[in-house]
Chains A and B, each alone.
Chain A
Amino acid sequence: MTNYAIEVRDLRVARGGRAVLHDLTFEVPHGSVVGLLGPSGCGKTTLMRAVVGVQIVQSGTVTVLGRPAGHRDLRRRVGYATQSPAVYADLTVRENLRYFAAVLGADRGDADRVAEEVGLGGARDQVAASLSGGQLNRASLAVALLGRPELLVFDEPTVGLDPVLRGELWELFHELAGRGTTLLVSSHVMDEAARCERLLLMREGLIIADDTPDALRERTGADDLEQAFLKVIEQRGKVAA
């Protein structure tokens, strides 16, 4: 048993003949909310895919909950929600959740529980195609919560949500972490970074900072994290020069 929920060592991934992740090494501790922040196209999604074990990697190791990523024992213990909602558009929310619950071997009541948790209790009998973008997104998150997985990997879970709903989802994330769940959440908006316990800042396939939000602000002397991010990039530029 390792101390970390996710342990990545020298991970290298190439897509279409181009290296997208350059020998990444980092850890994610158990029971925390870790934000993966960085501009669009910096490799966040590829990294998350490697963690859930659906990405072909060139070299390096990804260990999740003590097993290699994608191991069959992890298929019930890791919940993953992609950036675009992966649910059946022609099924109702309840039918979607019940199907995925059956695949995971979770009990039927679990479908109703997760629908409530993401605030879709009232829209349970709506066909997914008729949901708003934000609702559809939450339906997809709900699927990832089925069966109470120990690790949740959410790719841009709050895109297109109004501030109230965003706040509610972040509350849910912290509540889950309080119960011992580990969350790896990606975002490209910096104001969400402050809500994470730890931050991984990514740029062009590299992790350029791995710290708590407070430590990052202190280290860079910046008031907000957007400035801190820019400072980090600046400092790296100086080191390289």
Chain B
Amino acid sequence: MSPAITLATARRILTQLRHDHRTLGLIVGVPTLLMILLRYVLDRPQAFDRYGPMLLAIFPFTVMFIVTSIATLRERTSGTLERLMTMPLGRLDLLLGYALAFGLTALVQVGVVSAVALTWLGLDLRGSVWTLLALTLFAALLGVALGLLASAFARTEFQAVQFMPAFVLPQLLLAGLFVPRDQMSTALRWIADALPLSYLVEAMRELTGQAGLTGTLLRDTAVVAGCTVLGLLLGAATLRRRTP
């Protein structure tokens, strides 16, 4: 691993994004639009205060999952990954490069969406904005890590896109967004407890309801961060220098 190569990789990925204005526009614009839509569909400030922050974490997670899984799949199919694997680039250099580049992109995304939600849409947050930004950054990095991992199991871009609903939607249903986890049947509850998004949603709920850093909030953040590291390590294991 080398910091110079990791930074060069992150810069290269950001340059690729910079050439693709429409993707950048969609990354920032779509969640903003959805947030505005949610506010007016719910039409009650209390309900928006309840669901708004959770979506603030789910957007960067989902978007970064899709963007990362497609981007790494393209590296695999275009031959650039094989080329990099013949060079002195460590597997972690590539993964951390992706995490860094997409983490920064996620910060811009969350910055814009939070600004719109907290000012124009009147979202009421008890916890601090900085904790919100930190949590959403973790959410984005979790998306990057799982996206990297998922791309290893996709042969085509069609498959990669389908992994989004496969990885994300069940987690969303089980995360306690629609039905609280303690009201689920035991089996479902076990599954929900094993999924990282559940902790993310709980942390966001905690942040909405309480000021300051609570024990639950810290524990949930640690779980999300742990899953991110685990995802990156598993992702690294799927990158092979030698292939059949």
Binding site for B on A (CB under 8 A): 15-16, 52-56, 70, 72, 75-76, 78, 80, 82, 84-91, 95, 99-100, 102-105, 127, 143
Task: Label chain B's interface by main secondary structure.
Answer: helix
Binding site for A on B (CB under 8 A): 4-5, 8-9, 11-12, 15-16, 19-20, 78-80, 82-89, 241-244
Question: Nearest CB to that of A14 among chain B residues?
Answer: B244
A-B contact pairs, 17 of them (CB 8 A): A15-B244, A16-B244, A53-B242, A54-B82, A54-B86, A54-B242, A54-B243, A70-B242, A75-B87, A76-B87, A82-B82, A90-B19, A100-B87, A102-B5, A103-B8, A105-B4, A105-B88
Give the docked Cα–Cα distance between A52 and B78 (Å): 18
Chain A residues near B243: list those with CB within 8 A: 54-56
Closest Cβ–Cβ distance, residue A235 to chain B (whole Å): 34
Question: Nearest CB to that of B19 among chain A residues?
Answer: A90
A82 adjacent to B83 (CB under 8 Å): yes
Apart from the given pairs A16-B244, A103-B5, A105-B88, 14 other A-B contacts in the complex at a CB distance below 8 Å: A53-B86, A54-B85, A54-B243, A55-B243, A75-B88, A84-B78, A85-B79, A87-B80, A88-B78, A88-B80, A95-B15, A100-B83, A103-B87, A143-B83
Q: Which of B9, B11, B88 has the most CB of A within 10 A?
A: B88
Question: Nearest CB to that of B83 among chain A residues?
Answer: A86
A78 adjacent to B86 (CB under 8 Å): yes
Give the docked Cα–Cα distance between A143 and B86 (Å): 12
Chain B residues near A99: list those with CB within 8 A: 8-9, 11-12
Closest Cβ–Cβ distance, residue B179 to chain A (whole Å): 42
Question: Nearest CB to that of A13 among chain B residues?
Answer: B244
Closest Cβ–Cβ distance, residue B156 to chain A (whole Å): 16
Chain A residues near B20: list those with CB within 8 A: 90
Closest Cβ–Cβ distance, residue A148 to chain B (whole Å): 14
Give the docked Cα–Cα distance between A86 and B77 (Å): 9
Question: Nearest CB to that of A16 among chain B residues?
Answer: B244
Task: Label chain A's interface by main secondary structure.
Answer: loop
Closest Cβ–Cβ distance, residue B212 to chain A (whole Å): 43
Give the docked Cα–Cα distance between A84 and B82 (Å): 12
Chain A residues near B85: list those with CB within 8 A: 54
Closest Cβ–Cβ distance, residue B71 to chain A (whole Å): 10
Say which residue of A15, A72, A89, A90 sits within 8 Å of B88 (CB atoms): A72
Closest Cβ–Cβ distance, residue A33 to chain B (whole Å): 21
Give the docked Cα–Cα distance between A215 and B149 (Å): 53
Question: Nearest CB to that of A144 among chain B residues?
Answer: B83
Chain A residues near B89: list those with CB within 8 A: 103
Say which residue of A55, A80, A87, A88 sits within 8 Å of B242 (CB atoms): A55
Say which residue of A52, A90, A100 sits within 8 Å of B16 (CB atoms): A90
Say which residue of B15, B79, B84 sits within 8 Å of A82 (CB atoms): B79
Chain A residues near B241: list those with CB within 8 A: 53-54, 70
Give the docked Cα–Cα distance between A16 and B244 (Å): 8
Chain B residues near A143: list those with CB within 8 A: 83
Closest Cβ–Cβ distance, residue B200 to chain A (whole Å): 31
Question: Nearest CB to that of B85 among chain A residues?
Answer: A54
Would A103 and B84 be within 8 Å (CB), given that A54-B243, A55-B242 are in contact? yes
Which 9 pairs of residues, A with B, have the shortest CB-CB distance?
Answer: A86-B79, A102-B8, A99-B12, A75-B88, A86-B83, A56-B242, A90-B16, A90-B19, A86-B80
Closest Cβ–Cβ distance, residue A30 to chain B (whole Å): 20
Question: Nearest CB to that of A102 among chain B residues?
Answer: B8
A86 adjacent to B87 (CB under 8 Å): no
Closest Cβ–Cβ distance, residue B128 to chain A (whole Å): 38
Give the docked Cα–Cα distance between A85 and B83 (Å): 10
A80 adjacent to B12 (CB under 8 Å): no
Say which residue of B4, B19, B83 sits within 8 Å of A91 (CB atoms): B19
Question: Nearest CB to that of B80 among chain A residues?
Answer: A86
A91 adjacent to B79 (CB under 8 Å): no
A86 adjacent to B88 (CB under 8 Å): no
Say which residue of B19, B86, B87 sits within 8 Å of A127 (CB atoms): B19
Closest Cβ–Cβ distance, residue B87 to chain A (whole Å): 5
Give the docked Cα–Cα distance between A46 and B6 (Å): 30
Chain B residues near A91: list those with CB within 8 A: 12, 15-16, 19
Chain B residues near A89: list those with CB within 8 A: 78
